[in-house]
Structure 1
Amino acid sequence: MKVRKNKLVSLAALGLVGGLALTACGGGAAEDTSGNAGSDNGGAAASGGYAELTGNLAGSGASSMQNAQNAWTESFMGLVGAEGGDIQVTYDATGSGTGREQFLAGQVKFAGTDAALDEEELAASAEQCNGEQAFNLPVYISPIAVVFKLDGVEELNLSPEVIGGIFAETITNWNDPAIAELNPDATLPDLAIVPVHRSDDSGTTENFTEYLSDNAPDAWTHGPIETWPIDGGQSGDGTSGLISAVEGGNGTIGYADASQAGNLGTAAIQVGEEFVPFSSDAAAKSVDVSPREEGRAENDIVVDLDRTTAEEGVYPIVLISYLALCGSYADSAEGEAVKAYASYVISEDGQAVGEQNAGSAPISEELRTEAQAAIDGITVG
């Protein structure tokens, strides 16, 4: 059971914004800047109505997708401005738990979350969603990297059992035989391991511990959990805080969205008989081999990740970040802005911006079609 307690834009993205903006100025159905040409009911984006978008649109949530969200908001505002609209879209990387709380309290109009809204949260959402329940859309697929800083060691192979033992603090030294056996060519120092965890309620933590629970339940006995269950130890607030803590030591190890691993070492993870380094392709393959979570409404698209697969080339520690959106918005302008922004994020162009700025894996065409239908179903006014 899952337990919960409840603007960095690259030159590549700016270049893409410029290219898309020029397309927008040209007009015409074939030059639809939303990436959703052919949709009959995709809100302002599909109808060419960016010029009508005005006001402010605020979201908050998962820090894992911060780089992607920063690029999406900047790119989207550039497209809107090119058509004569004037909208300010902001995303505050507060962490998944806080983002969901703010969304359910009506403080923001969309949330980014690494753990999809659950049944209780969906039921509570009707109060803020004009009488309709919220729903989840998968928009950001990325590997969770096991990051480390260990002087003299650049490459590291780890099994799920060893990772579980390290973070459960039963494997405490880098020259432990269990680590040495997996890394015969490495010179492992006689040095204490310093595991670093997230201090905030984190969907990344939940995804990471779910992987450990599924693959190494004897080593990791705490289950999948959003709030770190072990007292003490080093921690960091948000993804950036965890990365800073790992960077600041020697012998440190943590877990974070791979897009923010920077210059830290990253472990290859044992899957079957091979060790697989993270990549967007390997993360996307993990999603492709996984079914949809059962018992959800048709518009509530949540992937039930198969983290125990032994299929070749799959990186199993995968994070899927979701957009949490209302099924209905009382304010028409606000609702149309949400629909246009969400349509852009899932579009081929939007997903390309995410890949260029955050190393994420674009969602499949099948997922895009299902997600657009869910967005089209949002009622406004």
Structure 2
Amino acid sequence: MKVSHFGRGAALLSVTALALTACGGDDNGNGDDNGNGENGEVNAEEVQGTLEGGGASSQESAMTEWNQQFLEVAPNAQVNYNPVGSGGGREGLLGGQYDFAGSDAAMDDEEWEDSKEVCGDEGAFHIPSYITPIAVAYNVDGIEDGLQLDADTLAQIFSGEITSWDDDAIAEQNEDLDLPSTSITVVHRADDSGTTENFTEYLETASDSWDEEPSGDWPSDFSAESAQQTSGVVSLASETDGAITYADAGQIGDLNSVNVRVGEEYVEYSPEAAATAVERSPQAEGQAENDMAFDLDRETTEEGAYPIVMVAYNIFCNEYSDQEKVDLVKAYGEYIVSEDGQNAASDAAGSAPMSEDLRSEAEEAFSQISAAE
């Protein structure tokens, strides 16, 4: 596991300051022109300006809530978020269009090296601010709930090898269900999607029936129906009898979901089960010192863990053009990982709140951001 360069036990830095300033506390003359206190903490009530972000549509509900609630602690600031998909968000950050990106997949090493052009020598870093299960969601007349599938069967369904809902491989795992002979319609994302990358990573890692490399783009060899963004695949699946898709569990609406085999049990998705899978996984290595990306364990047999999980990152620069922007980014970042911010996302989107250890590490990561000299 990656060893943090600044320690998981680091003291909480600026969330307390956010709470105090939101209640009208003053800085007793210790603040400077940038709204920083004597310990370098950001006074959220003093920050101003606009942040532009874009990326994963899976984060849209959480982002909407965060951006509205952030106004309560930073009334002179504004945050805009464009749900263009994970790939579009990372491209926008690397191209200087966005101040931060939302992504359901971490930057690869090449992207991180490219980020140094706009983010300084340490490049960009990931904060795992939105942890959620990816539901394998279906719409099949005659199967209301309780469908159980293992990784191999899922891989064969999504690759088109299994084409009917009463196939023997499905029936053997669902003896108590009266399965219809309805044809299976696979629905996948048409856009470059971190959700697709996470889902195909699970299929490639956990099964012996998926030979495609994980990617944000759906494999072109597998013919299926497609739609843009999370809302698109959920809408299309909801309108199609026999459909199966994958999507952020907080956005599947009235669709049913598969219980996935983990070890000797079948696990229903939940925020808690997703958090268990993440917390048992090692952190990645090789990028910025304050990076918090994970190498997710898709083959876990941990009891109660749900391995089709998505750690949706917010990706920030380690360096911004001026101190005003730095203070605004820090205040916003510290809010979204705070207990209030995480609970707001959980209520709005069903995500799993960060653990106290992860929250402390994230706060320390934000403290490393600086202004260009």
Q: What's the TM-score, normalizing by structure 2? A: 0.88
Residue in structure 2 matched with residue 176 of structure 1 by the alignment: 167
Does residue 272 in structure 1 map to residue 263 in structure 2?
yes
2:107 is matched by which residue type in structure 1? L
Q: Do 1:21 and 1:78's aligned partners in 2 also have CA atoms closer than 8 Å?
A: no
Residue in structure 2 matched with residue 293 of structure 1 by the alignment: 284
Residue in structure 2 matched with residue 311 of structure 1 by the alignment: 302
Q: Distance in 1 between matches of 2:121 and 2:213?
A: 34
1:326 to 317, 326, 331: 317
Q: Specify the SS of the correspondent of 1:320.
A: strand
2:309 is matched by which residue type in structure 1? V
Which string of whole-angstrom CA distances, capped at 9 and with x for unpartnered residues, describes residues 318-345 of structure 1?
Answer: 0001111111001222221111100101
Q: Specify the SS of the correspondent of 1:71.
A: helix
1:365 is matched by which residue type in structure 2? E
Q: Do 1:130 and 1:330's aligned partners in 2 also have CA atoms closer than 8 Å?
A: no
- Residue 363 of structure 1 and its aligned partner are, at CA, apart by 1.1
1:67 to 45, 61, 67: 61
The 5-angstrom pairing of residues 8-27 of structure 1 reads: 24-27=22-25
Q: Distance in 1 between matches of 2:239 and 2:266?
A: 27
The 5-angstrom pairing of residues 119-134 of structure 1 reads: 119-134=109-124
1:252 is matched by which residue type in structure 2? A
Does residue 164 in structure 1 map to residue 155 in structure 2?
yes
Q: Mark the runs of 5 or more structure 2 residues left unpaired by the alignment.
A: 1-17, 28-36
Hey, which bits of structure 1, 4+ residues long, moved more than 6 A? 20-23
- Residue 294 of structure 1 and its aligned partner are, at CA, apart by 2.8
Q: Specify the SS of the correspondent of 1:78.
A: helix
Q: Distance in 2 between matches of 1:295 and 1:178?
A: 41
Q: Distance in 2 between matches of 1:175 and 1:373?
A: 52
With over 3 angstroms needed to count, the CA separation of the structure-2 counterparts of 1:281 and 1:245, relative to structure 1, is same
Residue in structure 2 matched with residue 257 of structure 1 by the alignment: 248
Residue in structure 2 matched with residue 32 of structure 1 by the alignment: none
- Residue 219 of structure 1 and its aligned partner are, at CA, apart by 1.3
- Residue 27 of structure 1 and its aligned partner are, at CA, apart by 2.2
Does residue 98 in structure 1 map to residue 96 in structure 2?
no
Q: Mark the runs of 5 or more structure 1 residues left unpaired by the alignment.
A: 1-19, 30-37
- Residue 130 of structure 1 and its aligned partner are, at CA, apart by 4.2
Q: Specify the SS of the correspondent of 1:51.
A: coil
1:68 is matched by which residue type in structure 2? A
Q: Distance in 2 between matches of 1:150 and 1:192?
A: 10
With over 3 angstroms needed to count, the CA separation of the structure-2 counterparts of 1:41 and 1:150, relative to structure 1, is farther
Q: Distance in 2 between matches of 1:79 and 1:304?
A: 34
- Residue 21 of structure 1 and its aligned partner are, at CA, apart by 8.4
Q: Do 2:104 and 2:194's aligned partners in 1 also have CA atoms closer than 8 Å?
A: yes
With over 3 angstroms needed to count, the CA separation of the structure-2 counterparts of 1:272 and 1:128, relative to structure 1, is same
Which string of whole-angstrom CA distances, capped at 9 and with x for unpartnered residues, describes residues 182-205 of structure 1?
Answer: 111111111110000000011111
Q: Specify the SS of the correspondent of 2:179.
A: coil
Q: Distance in 1 between matches of 2:20 and 2:368?
A: 30
Q: Which moved more, 1:288-297 or 1:304-313?
A: 288-297
Instruction: Determine what percentage of the aligned residue pairs are the same residue.
Output: 49
Q: Distance in 2 between matches of 1:181 and 1:356?
A: 37
Which string of whole-angstrom CA distances, capped at 9 and with x for unpartnered residues, describes residues 42-67 of structure 1?
Answer: 4x2xxxx2232222111000111111
Q: Distance in 1 between matches of 2:350 and 2:25?
A: 31
Residue in structure 2 matched with residue 9 of structure 1 by the alignment: none
Residue in structure 2 matched with residue 3 of structure 1 by the alignment: none
Which string of whole-angstrom CA distances, capped at 9 and with x for unpartnered residues, describes residues 139-188 of structure 1?
Answer: 11000000000012112111101100010100011110000111111111
How many residues in Structure 1 have an aligned counterpart in Structure 2? Answer: 344
1:78 to 40, 65, 72: 72
Q: Distance in 1 between matches of 2:278 and 2:288?
A: 20
With over 3 angstroms needed to count, the CA separation of the structure-2 counterparts of 1:22 and 1:135, relative to structure 1, is closer
1:99 is matched by which residue type in structure 2? G
Q: Distance in 1 between matches of 2:101 and 2:144?
A: 36
With over 3 angstroms needed to count, the CA separation of the structure-2 counterparts of 1:370 and 1:150, relative to structure 1, is same
With over 3 angstroms needed to count, the CA separation of the structure-2 counterparts of 1:375 and 1:21, relative to structure 1, is closer
2:349 to 322, 345, 358: 358
Which string of whole-angstrom CA distances, capped at 9 and with x for unpartnered residues, describes residues 259-288 of structure 1?
Answer: 001110011001111110000110000011
Q: Specify the SS of the correspondent of 1:76.
A: helix
Does residue 137 in structure 1 map to residue 131 in structure 2?
no
Does residue 206 in structure 1 map to residue 200 in structure 2?
no
Q: Distance in 2 between matches of 1:313 and 1:238?
A: 29
- Residue 227 of structure 1 and its aligned partner are, at CA, apart by 0.5
Q: Distance in 2 between matches of 1:41 and 1:57?
A: 21
With over 3 angstroms needed to count, the CA separation of the structure-2 counterparts of 1:22 and 1:302, relative to structure 1, is closer
Q: Specify the SS of the correspondent of 1:127.
A: helix
Q: What's the TM-score, normalizing by structure 1? A: 0.87
Q: Specify the SS of the correspondent of 1:270.
A: strand
